[in-house]
Chain A
Amino acid sequence: MTDISYATAPVAVREDLLAAHRRAWRRLAQAGNWWTGAERVAIAAEVRNAWQCSLCKARKAALSPYTIAGTHECISTLSQSAVDVIHRAVTDPGRLTQAWFGRTMASGEITDAQYVEIIDVVVAVVSIDSFCRGIGVPLHPLPTPEPGEPSHYRPATAQLEAAWVPMIPVEGAIGAEADLWSTGRVGNVIRALSVVPDAVRQLMDLSTAHYVPRDRLMDFTWGRSLSRAQMELIAGRVSALRGCFY
């Protein structure tokens, strides 16, 4: 597999960012807990395709996306439910609803853990693609899928709480998941993908390079070439533009 490179970028990209992106791309190509490497790369390709989907554009423009029926323009053999999850999460995430999630689960086409792993792939690809757009370089070619079967591993402590998806409880990061978080206080956004533990590990890896290392999160004097306040201004504006209440 050809590794991600920023050698031709118009600006020098930090080595830690490059390394985190390379790890994410390698993981993307490998079998996960519930999807094969080929399926994970197909999800990634569908992420990029979603931006051109006519149905998604019509739904985005509508007062409610749930009033517009139709079929997504897809480029994969993934199930309709999987494609719908990918396209909506990419193009209109602020208007996903619990009722829609319930209908997706009721379709029987994907399980809750498969749903979480789809979101895991979606957010990795969206964020790395967004970074490329931000600095003005072409998107990286998707990796070649690696052979292998999904592990079907599901943490024993994962359970339904107030979120739509099962999560490992705050005090439940034990055993094989002991590295996920070390304190009794962890944000729900970190636990959100924990039914797929490697998704949390990747989230922390990417967030450390893109944003703030986990151990400096509450140190508001820490910064890079930007001050923490400048970083938070950008973070808040992107969240507001995406209509994210959390």
Chain B
Amino acid sequence: MLLRASGEATGQAFDLHAVTEGAATTSSGVAHEETLLALAEAMVSDDEEALATARARVLDELGPEALVDAAGVASNFERMVRIADATGIPLDSFLDELTVDLRAELKLARFESTASTP
């Protein structure tokens, strides 16, 4: 969970539940989180209307560069999750050790891909 690490690097503590539950449930403390999460969620969904709304909101609040960067990151992880899930790679040992508490707190074991990630 590099969000936690990025918070530690800047002296901020983010609530990571927003990652698993969405902004409607909790607040992470990351600036413009609702806007950015709405775009991420719309990009994963097939709801074109929601995507158009989310895109317009990013443009309005954060500007065109942020839309490009946000879409770039979201689409990057559409790639990374498929690599991980399709190859059955184990969690890296250093990540395993660093995130034991976090994985329990966020209940990540509920994800079906857990069974494929030794």
A residues sitting closer than 8 Å to B (CB atoms) are: 10-14, 17, 51, 85, 89-90, 93-98, 101, 116, 119, 122-124, 126-131, 133-136, 162-165, 167, 185, 187-189, 191-193, 203, 206-207, 209-211, 220-221, 224-246
B98 at the interface (CB under 8 A from A): no
Extra A-B contacts (19), CB below 8 Å, given A167-B89, A232-B5, A236-B2: A94-B81, A94-B113, A95-B113, A96-B116, A116-B87, A119-B82, A128-B75, A133-B51, A135-B68, A163-B88, A188-B89, A191-B89, A192-B84, A229-B6, A230-B31, A234-B37, A237-B40, A245-B117, A246-B81
Interface size on B, residues (CB 8 A): 76
Shortest distance from the beta carbon of B74 to any chain A beta carbon, whole Å? 5
With most chain B CB atoms within 10 A of its CB, the pick from A11, A98, A207 is A11
Q: Which residue of B33, B37, B75, B85 is within 8 Å of A246 (Cβ)?
A: B85
Q: Which residue of A lies closest to B28 (CB)?
A: A233
With most chain B CB atoms within 10 A of its CB, the pick from A135, A224, A238 is A238
CA distance in complex: A209, B68 (Å): 11
Given A119-B82, A238-B81, residue A210 in contact with residue B88 (CB < 8 A): no
With most chain A CB atoms within 10 A of its CB, the pick from B41, B76, B91, B94 is B76
Contact residues, B53-83 vs A (CB, 8 A): 55, 59, 62-83
On chain B, the residues within 8 Å of A211 by CB distance are: 72-73, 76-77
Taking chain B's interface residues, is the majority helix, strand, or loop, or is none over half, making it mixed? helix
Shortest distance from the beta carbon of B77 to any chain A beta carbon, whole Å? 4
Q: Which residue of B9, B65, B94 is within 8 Å of A224 (Cβ)?
A: B65
On chain B, the residues within 8 Å of A210 by CB distance are: 72-73, 75-76, 79
Report whether A226 and B66 are in contact in the complex, using a CB–CB cutoff of 8 Å: yes
On chain B, the residues within 8 Å of A237 by CB distance are: 18-19, 22, 37, 40-41
Report whether B76 and A207 are in contact in the complex, using a CB–CB cutoff of 8 Å: yes
Report whether A165 and B87 are in contact in the complex, using a CB–CB cutoff of 8 Å: yes
On chain B, the residues within 8 Å of A239 by CB distance are: 19, 77, 80-81
On chain A, the residues within 8 Å of B87 by CB distance are: 116, 119, 163-165, 192-193
On chain A, the residues within 8 Å of B63 by CB distance are: 225
CA distance in complex: A89, B80 (Å): 12
Sample 5 A-B pairs with CB under 8 A, ordered by A number: A12-B65, A119-B83, A188-B91, A203-B83, A238-B44
Report whether A11 and B68 are in contact in the complex, using a CB–CB cutoff of 8 Å: yes
On chain B, the residues within 8 Å of A10 by CB distance are: 64
B49 at the interface (CB under 8 A from A): no
